[in-house]
Amino acid sequence: MHFFIAEMAPNQIYNLLIGLVAPRPIALVTSMNEEGRVNAAPFSAYNYLCTDPPVVGLGVMNRPGGKFVPKDTARNIRRTREFVVNVVTEDIAHPMNICATDFPEEVDELEMAGLETAPSKVVKVPRIKQAHAALECEEFTSMEIGNSRIILGKVVAMYVEDKFVDPAGPYILGEELHAIGRMNGLGSYVKTQDAFFTMPRIPYSEWQKGRRE
């Protein structure tokens, strides 16, 4: 099948794209409004984009409907210029999903999800205590693109629970961390527990010797 974007409705494009760009890491983003009220919401239009300097990107759609109404996360980041990406692992999958519920503004998503906060080291926005790793970010820039906002955040500090760090690199012990990924908009996710395989890069010298796999 071929699909031509010019002939498609936004929700159809969404359905296909989020099923094809998968699995995606999930950022459970904490942000704060001007009054210091903490907000939490998950975003899978998320990745790191470069490491020198360390920059992560988030794609936040506006709220559904014709009017330009940003989600609280995008609004908060524009106003207070900071956020924290809490890494989503299997053990916090359900609380993460609760944070995506469209609660009325006065309801605290973190409380509903049974999550607590812990102070960050550099930014004012707290991280989520139950998350095993978190990236403290300062807004680098936000771009309005159609009905979405692309937010670039400069990572200024990282928190990782000691047991998930191999200090030699330092490396992340990904096989132990059990991060999950989002597969589509139908509520499907993947686990990474017992799912790792190793495939070393092939140096060209090895390739020339005939090593192909």
Binding site for ligand FMN (CB under 6 A): 26, 39, 41-45, 59-61, 71-73, 97, 100, 102, 182
Closest by CA position to 54, among listed 166, 174, 153: 153
Cβ distance to ligand FMN smaller for residue 97 or 193 = 97
CB of 129 to ligand FMN, least distance (A): 19
CB of 131 to ligand FMN, least distance (A): 14
CB of 199 to ligand FMN, least distance (A): 27
Cβ distance to ligand FMN smaller for residue 32 or 123 = 32
CB of 169 to ligand FMN, least distance (A): 29
β-strand partners of 144: 149
Cβ distance to ligand FMN smaller for residue 72 or 82 = 72
Cβ distance to ligand FMN smaller for residue 61 or 157 = 61
Residue 162 phi, psi (nearest 5): -45, -40
For residues 133 and 129, what is the distance between their CA atoms, to the nearest angstrom? 9
Cβ distance to ligand FMN smaller for residue 45 or 134 = 45
Do the bridges between strand 180-182 and strand 54-61 make them parallel or antiparallel, or are there none, so unpaired? unpaired
CB of 101 to ligand FMN, least distance (A): 7
For residues 89 and 26, what is the distance between their CA atoms, to the nearest angstrom? 9
First to last CA, the chain: 32
Residue 55 phi, psi (nearest 5): -130, 135
For residues 9 and 87, what is the distance between their CA atoms, to the nearest angstrom? 32
